[in-house]
Structure 1
């Protein structure tokens, strides 16, 4: 019996679903507020409850979410019970990685999308399990390959020893934990020591080239000093096409329905891992071209003259790339960017980068921090500080009058960005405009 404390967490929900697919008995607990990850848990009839120490039973294996410690009554009850085995999320996932031909996807940006993309490609030829940070976990019967998202926060990815890995990029984040770029780089260098067979690493970035890498590896990107690179790149309303070159020779001409240079980079990472695993180019083309995306990553709804896009972007670089992708896909439409920050420390550290991040949007609305946002000691900041830094931005308090103001911007591409539940605001606006 596996019991998850914090089962609605995106990684925790994914892991619970995988164990359920493996035929295990799974349940858990969490806060009562609705979180989008619980939909899949409900669909799979995985029970979850409010926190209560009496939920912990003798003989359970208890997996503890990263947000919880012994101040939580269930965590304390589990650790006080000698018949109960306890693991952190990362510790337990590390044991699962060792049982499969495993591929980990790491980096500051793009992990979730690339993990989904890679899993979809591998599933063209073999049963493939995967764990994605959008609350999706799948382990088909007969799977011998397991693809997982590996987050660097608090060095949790050091619990994994995969056969292969991708490092998508290295740009300082999680500044509540990492206090310097040197320490952030060190964590990724440490991670490369865990990789058993091969690493695909983005080579067009100064930081990735600084890493100390001891495992066999291939660099990829759009510059011709990489082992795998794209040339003859064409980006338009239909997506992107390019010629892939591997070790100086043409590998294949790809044509993909992807928008934004970041998705081209992600696709090149997948192609590089495919090359390492002896995949033929036609399989890579077909798998990439039929990938439809993952939850909360550039999810597009077109209703009448308006377009509603939900995206997880919360770092300035990710915001900038997401706006560029919307502009590429809808070159003749107005793009209205709506953003809700998540961590006070992230906004405080990167505040001078946000004006540039939003500059290509035609209108910018900024929402206050959510009530449950963690406020780190010594950081005194609110949404008005960000509004002062982002030219032309306006406040959106997520109230009825704000919905009316957003609606008046239409017809438009409404781009909702946050790691929090900003999709609720998107649904409210969509209902207001179409009923």
Structure 2
């Protein structure tokens, strides 16, 4: 796709405009005075936000929705036989997939910051966004989750700074050519596409080579170090807990509720004290990445530390939904064994009576390939309730079932519906316990159901 396409058009139609990656792109282009229209299948908060700008949104996909658009942007979820996509092709209107458009848009900013890694992208992108706002950088941002600080998952700033997530799945991040790239970690995931960890590292190497000014990477992660080997003309800055890093967390101390505080060292010299309000050791790495990025951008270290202390998390990242009769209900996006281990370890250290993990396995391939790792992670909490495996884009050619996982986990039950899972947790949880829903699919609906049931119990 021609980088200058946006200079040649005025009217753009978005298929799936309510998506978390589409909505912020639409906001940015709207504020750049493009005339937008959109369509979607489901009502959502993001659609309300889009309509508040005066952008018309049609419900359902029909050929006539594209109107007199000169360019059509579509999400990766849109199938080839989508009537709007077919209508655009029939009329000779150029079409562009969301990740390609993200690349085009980010190249319009002098300072584009892309946050990559197998785990922690959304939280770290949100942290960097909040720190950049507090540091006076007035950034634009595209975040994969809702950041309460900005009241959404996107922001339009007036500066040349833009922050976005760079997702490795099907190599979509190779559409980007950022000024600054953050690499949080590189782990075996999406093996249905990559096949091997080596192939994932190769993709991250290619992504790193497309970065213009600086790479800010996890120096404690051997795979990250491998990914940037042999790169020239790019500054590489490392962060981590080991002394060899450019930015190091030292003197880590647990705060109540499993939050951490630490001294931030730059080249061995202390530049700030950081006290986090989000739980889990994994968030130390996320905060280090944000602090290192802020320092590279010239933001005062104390300003960054204060901003990170005020950061309270992102939607679906250990999000506390409420307390009912002494029972805490929370929801988290964790769907890979590494993420589950980090989240459940943090939960187990927060002083709850017992942790009830309600997990929805996400894709047959991931469940099959990481079966033992999932079983190990899900052995951390006292109780586990599994749903059936969410197929997403796959068929069950692996002959794997949730029961295969359940059989390997102590105190685990496997249920068919969210209704059954919610009722089971409510019946068995005791005051002081935590009910935590986990997964990358629609398990959040189960969390909402639990909240709703507790609220109805209170009304009675």
The 8 Å contact of residues 364 and 396 in structure 2, kept in 1 or not, is answered as: no
Alignment partners' CA distance in 1, 2:362 and 2:412: 18
Match of 2:4 in 1: none
Bigger mean CA offset, 392-401 vs 409-418: 392-401
Bigger mean CA offset, 291-300 vs 175-184: 291-300
Matched, 1:403 2:393: no
Task: Give per-residue Cα distances to partners, 1:273-319, cap 9 Å, x unaligned.
Answer: 11211221111111111122222111113324111111111111101
Bigger mean CA offset, 384-393 vs 170-179: 384-393
Match of 2:26 in 1: 16
Q: How does 1:300-315 map to 2 (within 5 A)?
A: 300-304=320-324, 305-315=326-336
Match of 1:324 in 2: 345
Matched, 1:143 2:159: yes
Q: 1:422 aligns with which of 432, 436, 443?
A: 443
Task: Give per-residue Cα distances to partners, 1:378-413, cap 9 Å, x unaligned.
Answer: 322222222123232111333544333211223321
Q: 1:91 aligns with which of 72, 88, 100?
A: 100
Matched, 1:67 2:87: no
Q: 1:394 aligns with which of 400, 405, 413?
A: 413
Matched, 1:158 2:169: no
Task: Give per-residue Cα distances to partners, 1:246-266, cap 9 Å, x unaligned.
Answer: 112222222221210111100
Q: Secondary structure at the match of 1:16?
A: helix
Match of 2:247 in 1: 228
Match of 1:292 in 2: 312
Match of 2:86 in 1: 76
Task: Give per-residue Cα distances to partners, 1:167-205, cap 9 Å, x unaligned.
Answer: 000001112211111110000000001111111101112
Structure 1 residues 35 and 316, CA, compared in 2 at 3 Å: closer, same or farther? farther
Matched, 1:134 2:145: yes
Q: Give structure 2 stretches of 5+ with no counterpart.
A: 1-10, 147-151
The 8 Å contact of residues 429 and 435 in structure 2, kept in 1 or not, is answered as: no
Alignment partners' CA distance in 2, 1:397 and 1:6: 30
Alignment partners' CA distance in 2, 1:22 and 1:189: 33
The 8 Å contact of residues 113 and 162 in structure 2, kept in 1 or not, is answered as: yes
Match of 1:175 in 2: 191
Question: C-alpha displacement at 1:344, in angstroms?
Answer: 1.4
Question: C-alpha displacement at 1:23, in angstroms?
Answer: 4.1
Question: C-alpha displacement at 1:42, in angstroms?
Answer: 5.2
Q: Give structure 1 stretches of 5+ with no counterpart.
A: none
Cα RMSD for the two superposed structures: 2.0
Q: How does 1:251-262 map to 2 (within 5 A)?
A: 251-262=271-282
Alignment partners' CA distance in 2, 1:27 and 1:389: 50
Alignment partners' CA distance in 1, 2:352 and 2:331: 20
Match of 2:149 in 1: none
The 8 Å contact of residues 16 and 137 in structure 1, kept in 2 or not, is answered as: no
Matched, 1:217 2:236: yes
The 8 Å contact of residues 13 and 69 in structure 2, kept in 1 or not, is answered as: no
Question: C-alpha displacement at 1:373, in angstroms?
Answer: 2.4
Bigger mean CA offset, 128-137 vs 258-267: 128-137
Alignment partners' CA distance in 1, 2:332 and 2:84: 33
The 8 Å contact of residues 418 and 446 in structure 2, kept in 1 or not, is answered as: no
Matched, 1:186 2:202: yes
Question: C-alpha displacement at 1:37, in angstroms?
Answer: 4.8
Q: Secondary structure at the match of 2:351?
A: coil
Q: Secondary structure at the match of 2:64?
A: helix
Matched, 1:6 2:27: no
Structure 1 residues 212 and 285, CA, compared in 2 at 3 Å: closer, same or farther? closer
The 8 Å contact of residues 112 and 163 in structure 2, kept in 1 or not, is answered as: yes
Match of 2:368 in 1: 348
Alignment partners' CA distance in 1, 2:18 and 2:430: 35
Match of 2:3 in 1: none
The 8 Å contact of residues 140 and 162 in structure 2, kept in 1 or not, is answered as: yes
Alignment partners' CA distance in 1, 2:17 and 2:400: 31
Alignment partners' CA distance in 2, 1:57 and 1:143: 33
Alignment partners' CA distance in 1, 2:45 and 2:393: 20
Alignment partners' CA distance in 1, 2:415 and 2:384: 9
Bigger mean CA offset, 220-229 vs 66-75: 66-75
The 8 Å contact of residues 21 and 139 in structure 1, kept in 2 or not, is answered as: no
The 8 Å contact of residues 199 and 218 in structure 1, kept in 2 or not, is answered as: yes
The 8 Å contact of residues 354 and 390 in structure 1, kept in 2 or not, is answered as: no
Alignment partners' CA distance in 1, 2:116 and 2:422: 37
Alignment partners' CA distance in 1, 2:268 and 2:25: 40
Q: Secondary structure at the match of 2:193?
A: coil
If the length of structure 1 is used for normalisation, what is the TM-score?
A: 0.93
If the length of structure 2 is used for normalisation, what is the TM-score?
A: 0.88
